[in-house]
Structure 1
């Protein structure tokens, strides 16, 4: 009877330990999402009719973000005449390296207070890929996040978290896909905060682009 009683006394502690082990990782992921406060807007200014390869925006958070486009081998691209399947290297610097971003072609919203979208390729895949470190993976959209927990779900890390520098590799999808219609609508290659801060517009920076039909 003594051994049985001892085992019964241990079971609540075992259950408690298991619950803690399960809840701590969940709390690490969920709490920052629930407690995040908006940092404002990116305050990006663009002149109609311009087709730059690089743009800069000084956000309400005091950070100056730069977003730059280039071809697969570093060559200039024609942002006024992109085609499906074209590969674009997107680099950014000055971003908040503690906050993840999505990189994709999206419809330019009517106001800077609105979330960009819909986006070609939708939300980047959150399935972990079994690939070698440093391997380039081309996709319609990329997800950048330095947090180890999110990297387990497929996010790419920042190249340099301290300076908010990243590299994304886009293989342009169907300009008429994902309800985006970047033939009729004005679109851009955007960065925007990921799902951990969906309503925070401070990292909404874009280079305007146009597709050929």
Structure 2
């Protein structure tokens, strides 16, 4: 029985490791001290999907783990469509190479990122909208304040 449990643990670990590595790696700079005067972040992406792109949005963090954000910034500058596909780029998607930047807002309709927790919400674009495998929440803070 112990041997069976050990084998199952190894199998489950291998499965979960494979699933976790499928997601695109997204990092933002700065993450802990976004300037209040010039709130622009640099986004670095690696391992982008080859069949579709990603949307990145500034949002209020969801209240419960595993949920999608309910309130996102409606400003166009606080949203980003990134895709490695030439057809998507011809329709306005940003190429994932070079310097990719995103402007954030301290406050937006239904959002306060100075006093509450906000995130960059990463999700698959319209070409794979029902696939939640790329969903990520990347927290950020303005001016090094710790609102959470």
Normalised-by-shorter TM-score class: 0.5 to 0.7
Structure having the higher strand fraction is 2
The count of corresponding residues between Structure 1 and Structure 2 is 127
Larger Rg: 1
Structure 2 residue 22 is the aligned partner of structure 1 residue 63: yes
| 2:101 aligned with 1:169 | yes
Please tell me whether the aligned partners of residues 106 and 118 of structure 1 are also in contact (alpha carbons under 8 angstroms).
yes
TM superposition shift of 1:94: 2.0
1:95 pairs, out of 48, 55, 69, with: 48
1:196 match: 127
SS at match of 1:189: strand
5+ residue gaps in structure 1? 1-57, 71-76, 125-138, 160-165
TM-score by length of 1: 0.48
Cα distance between partner residues in 2 of 1:198 and 1:167? 26
Give the 5 Å matches for 1:118-197: 118-122=71-75, 124=76, 139-159=77-97, 168-173=100-105, 175-197=106-128
List alignment gaps of at least 5 residues for structure 2.
1-16
| RMSD, aligned α-carbons | 3.0
In the TM superposition, residue 120 of structure 1 has moved relative to its aligned partner by: 2.2
Alignment of 1:197-212 (within 5 A): 197-211=128-142
